[in-house]
Amino acid sequence: MIAVIDYNAGNVRSVLYALERIGVEAVLTSDHDEIAAAEKVIFPGVGAAGTTMQFLREQGLDELIRSLKQPVLGVCLGMQLLCEYSEEDDNTPCLGIIPQAVKRFLPQKGEKVPHMGWNTLRLNDDSWLSPELEGQYTYFVHSYYVEKGPYTVAESDYVHPFSAVLRKDNFFATQFHPEKSGSVGEQILKDFLAQ
């Protein structure tokens, strides 16, 4: 069973539809036992770090997510919340699973924030993504980013290079939205589900 964590975030239904398109049935749930028992877990999200972390703490989902041993995929805000803290909402403490900070884009040459649109991926040698995804376009909508670091497995560029995909142990994450990235996004979901 694939569990998609239901935590009051936007964009959750489009993740379910994307999974459906690749023939995968998933359950949208906030039930701790269902999430803990799932074969794979997807932690999607669109929203603000501060209010989302507060909701996760109130529901005990923060401790649950930290305790998961099966493959977990954080998407967009879900990726950022896996990190140490976010500059959003006055340095919000996050889940601390990936020891990196989430920083705000500071436009330098008239770039607009949020970064919205299609950007290419550059894969590292140890990426968990299919090699044919090198140079492919994925869809981003974000004002905050994670710098390149030891857990970066793919990067992209906006203002400067940043982490597009992360991995630490059983935690996988994408800054872009695979569910809105067409056939490329579908392949990324398949790559995660193959872990």
Report, as residue numbers or ranges, the catalytic residues: 76, 177, 179
| Residue closest to 1 by CA, chosen among 38, 42, 43 | 38
| CA dist., res. 81 & res. 66, Å (int) | 11
| CB 130 within 8 Å of CB 191 | yes
Q: Report the SS3 class of residue 71.
A: coil
**CA nearest 94: which of 173, 29, 27, 24?**
173
* Residues 18-51 as b or e (16 or more Cβ within 10 Å = b): bbeeeeeebeebbeeeebeebebbbbbbbbebee
Q: Identify the bridge partners of residue 166 per DSSP, sorted by sequence position.
A: 152, 173
Strand, coil or helix: what is 38? coil
Distance CA 76, CA 71 (A): 17
